[in-house]
């Protein structure tokens, strides 16, 4: 069974950094592209970033480009999101999601980890 | 990066059918058949309901169906049940390897 478990969220001041992790199990992690999606309080889902199976391509939403970096560690079956220069508007529940092979939809999601940016 | 447009809320009585629209452009919904739909109970992991406009993953009830006309995709829930009360989001691939979600629709079962 596919499991995605996010961690690393917390309360952080504006301008500071935080790194989120997503531990994957139940499937061959190396085969799949992985993504981060967030939901701000009272708002809808927003795609944040994605990385291909071999880290050959990394993409970002305009709202986080230049501040966030996505990466993965195949040895640890883990996905990461390094978030720098955090802003109040980055406050959200961050989900990791698996992109189905040779497709453009997210077939499995984690439960999310909450990031709160506040002074 | 503008979101796809969905109605904020839709409601129906048990047993009825409801349809949720998802309006985009020819850069996303209208440009290909990579439209998906997700059910989201707040605080839980979103669940895939429909992919590639009309396809239903195994395990998803046949009461959920998808369609598309031009740049507008639709999700229909037939035989509405109390457990269907949730938020629903459409999503689409957009050019430059980006993805975009809809604004979300809260479904209420009366």
DSSP assignment of A97-114 equals EEEPTTSSSEEEE---EE
Which of A105, A111, A112 should we substitute to test contact with B (largest number of B Cβ atoms within 10 Å)? A105
- Going by pLDDT thresholds of 50, 70 and 90, the confidence category of residue A60 is very high
Position B97 scores a pLDDT of 63
Would you call A105 and B36 a contact, using CB atoms and an 8 Å cutoff?
yes
Query: What mean pLDDT, rounded, does chain A reach?
Result: 96
| Whether residue B75 has pLDDT greater than 90 | yes
Interchain contact, A110 vs B45, CB within 8 Å: yes
Tokens of B94: 């957009």
Q: Cβ separation of B52 and A112 shorter than 8 Å?
A: no
Confidence of residue B3 (pLDDT cuts 50, 70, 90): very high
DSSP letters for A15-50: T--EEEEEEEESS-GGGS-EEEEEE-TTS-EEEEEE
Cα distances from A31 to residues A72, A76, A118, B110, in angstroms, run 12, 14, 37, 44
The tokens describing A59, both together, are 């993409």
Does B15 have pLDDT greater than 90?
A: yes
Q: Distance (Å) from the C-alpha of residue B23 to the closest C-alpha of chain A?
A: 15
Q: What is the mean pLDDT of residues B67-78?
A: 97
Residue B11: its H or E element? strand B9-12
Q: Which residues of A touch B (CB under 8 A)?
A: 4, 35, 37, 44-47, 50, 57, 59, 61-63, 95, 97, 100, 103-112
């Amino acid at each position: 069974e596919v499991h995605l478990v996010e961690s690393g969220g917390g309360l952080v001041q504006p301008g500071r950094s935080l790194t989120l992790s997503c531990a994957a199990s139940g499937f061959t992690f190396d085969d799949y592209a992985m993504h981060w999606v967030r939901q701000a309080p009272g708002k809808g889902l927003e795609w944040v970033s994605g990385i291909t199976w071999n880290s050959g391509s990394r993409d970002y939403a305009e709202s986080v480009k230049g501040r966030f970096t996505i990466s993965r560690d195949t040895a640890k079956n883990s996905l990461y999101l390094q978030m720098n220069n955090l802003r109040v508007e980055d406050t959200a529940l961050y989900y990791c999601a698996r992109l189905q092979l040779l497709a453009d939809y997210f077939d499995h999601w984690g439960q999310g980890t909450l990031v709160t940016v506040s002074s | 990066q503008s979101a796809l447009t969905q109605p904020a809320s839709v409601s129906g009585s048990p047993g009825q059918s409801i349809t949720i629209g998802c309006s985009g452009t020819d850069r996303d919904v209208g440009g290909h058949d990579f439209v998906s739909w997700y059910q989201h109970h707040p605080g839980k992991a979103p669940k895939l309901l429909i992919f590639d406009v009309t396809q239903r993953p195994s395990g998803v009830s046949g009461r959920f169906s998808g369609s598309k006309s031009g740049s507008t995709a639709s999700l229909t829930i037939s035989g509405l049940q109390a457990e269907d009360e949730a938020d629903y989001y459409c999503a689409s691939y957009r050019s430059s390897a980006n993805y975009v979600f809809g604004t979300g629709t809260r479904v209420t079962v009366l």
